[in-house]
């Protein structure tokens, strides 16, 4: 029934927006199945019909991944400054205020400590709902601090990314966070402590080009867009059509940029198994030698 469908390309209806609509019923973005919102926690906010992974916020990920009640947030009082007094169509300070009201967060990342199946860890989870999960000074500082604490306390570090990249409104200050987070992770690596990086839809730009790609183990949710520049920019730059599935998790797995694609329902188990491997492997070997 073409007469009530949009047939012109390039015109986006509100249905194209990935933010979850309000109400009891939820339409799957991929297969159009109508889903019952109160049941979505049970399926980890994935579609039971087609496995489409709905976007969820940082708090929800912490709930899914960590032992109940184990999370302790750190550096929540860090808030973005506006040293450039940047303004595009809106003032940066107004965008920050709008994002804060919308998400209840002080910036696009929540960081702290917790445990997975009793294994202690430091964790930082980006939140796409806050200015597209963009990395400005606060995101970079929180990632650096949580990493330094992991080093001090000899904990594993887990980062979970969903980001449009560097925060343009902070100019060069946002790009500096790439170097800062990478330097902090180099210290973690030098201390022999593991970093597990989980990539979710989408992980792009400066976040991909820094801490998100520096995991000792890199996991990705199915069909997440992961890349530096987006496919449209690349296509227009190289003047070539891109291969099927380009920049999606499964494509990156095939090409060696991702270690495993993990359904959200299995993330917690997978994470616990990886951390147990890094934490217990030497002890297991020692026990074997004692025998
Ligand atoms: Zn579906």
State the pLDDT at residue 279.
Answer: 84
**Pairing between strand 109-116 and 119-126?**
antiparallel
CA of 277 to the centre of ligand 1 (A): 34
H or E stretch covering 272:
helix 267-290
Q: In this predicted structure, what is the pLDDT of residue 10?
A: 56
Phi and psi at residue 148, to the nearest 5°: -60, -40
- When pLDDT is cut at 50, 70 and 90, the band that residue 285 belongs to is very low
* 41-93 confidence digits (pLDDT tens): 999 999 999 999 999 999 999 999 999 999 999 999 999 999 999 999 999 99
Which CATH architecture is the domain 56-290 placed in?
A: Alpha-Beta Complex (3.90)
For 164-199, give the DSSP string.
Answer: --B-GGGTHHHHHHHHHHHHHHHHHHHTT--EEEEE
- Ligand 1 midpoint to CA 223 (Å): 13
How many A from CA of 55 to the centre of ligand 1?
A: 13
For the chain, the average pLDDT equals 91
279 three-state secondary structure: helix
Calpha distance 111→109 (Å, rounded): 6
* 34 CA to centre of ligand 1 in angstroms: 8
Q: Tell me the pLDDT tens digit for each residue of 262-282.
A: 999 999 999 999 999 998 654
206-245 pLDDT tens trace: 999 999 999 999 999 999 999 999 888 999 999 999 998 9
The Å distance, Cα 251 to ligand 1 centre, comes to 21
**What pLDDT, on the 0 to 100 scale, is given for residue 5?**
59
Cα of 51 vs centre of ligand 1, distance in Å, is: 6
Give this prediction's pTM: 0.88
Distance from Cα 33 to the centre of ligand 1, integer Å: 5
CA–CA separation, 94 vs 59, rounded Å? 24
CA–centroid distance, residue 50 to ligand 1 (Å)? 4
**What residue ranges of the chain are covered by domains with CATH 3.90.226.10?**
56-290
Instruction: List pLDDT tens digits, range 126-138.
Output: 999 999 999 999 9
| pLDDT score for 23 | 84
pLDDT in tens, 20-37: 556 899 999 999 999 999
For 127-178, what is each residue's pLDDT tens digit? 999 999 999 999 999 999 999 999 999 999 999 999 999 999 999 999 999 9
């Amino acid at each position: 029934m073409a007469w009530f469908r949009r047939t012109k390309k390039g015109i986006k209806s509100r249905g194209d927006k990935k933010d979850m609509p309000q109400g009891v019923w939820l339409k799957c973005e991929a297969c159009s199945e109508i889903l019952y919102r109160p049941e979505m926690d049970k399926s980890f906010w994935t579609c039971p019909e087609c496995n489409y992974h709905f976007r969820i916020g940082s708090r929800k990920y912490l709930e899914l991944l960590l032992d109940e009640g184990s999370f302790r947030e750190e550096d929540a009082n860090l808030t973005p400054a506006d040293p450039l007094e940047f303004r595009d169509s809106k003032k940066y300070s107004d965008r920050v205020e709008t994002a804060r009201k919308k998400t209840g967060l002080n910036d696009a990342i929540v960081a702290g400590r917790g445990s997975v199946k009793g294994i202690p860890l430091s964790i930082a989870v980006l939140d796409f709902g806050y200015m597209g999960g963009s990395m400005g000074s606060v995101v970079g500082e929180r990632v650096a601090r949580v990493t330094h604490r992991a080093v001090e306390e000899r904990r594993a570090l887990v980062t979970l990314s969903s980001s449009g990249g560097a925060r343009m409104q902070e100019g060069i200050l946002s790009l500096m966070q790439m170097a800062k987070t990478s330097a902090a992770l180099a210290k973690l690596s030098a201390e022999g402590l593991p970093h597990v990086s989980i990539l979710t839809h989408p992980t792009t730009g400066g976040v991909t080009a820094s801490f998100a790609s520096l995991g000792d183990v890199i996991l990705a949710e199915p069909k997440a867009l992961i890349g530096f520049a987006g496919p449209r920019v690349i296509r227009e730059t190289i003047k070539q059509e891109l291969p099927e599935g380009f920049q999606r998790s499964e494509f990156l797995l095939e090409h060696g940029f991702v270690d495993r694609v993990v359904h959200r329902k299995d993330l917690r188990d997978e994470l616990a198994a990886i951390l147990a491997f890094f934490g217990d492997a030497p002890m297991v070997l020692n026990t074997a030698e004692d025998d």
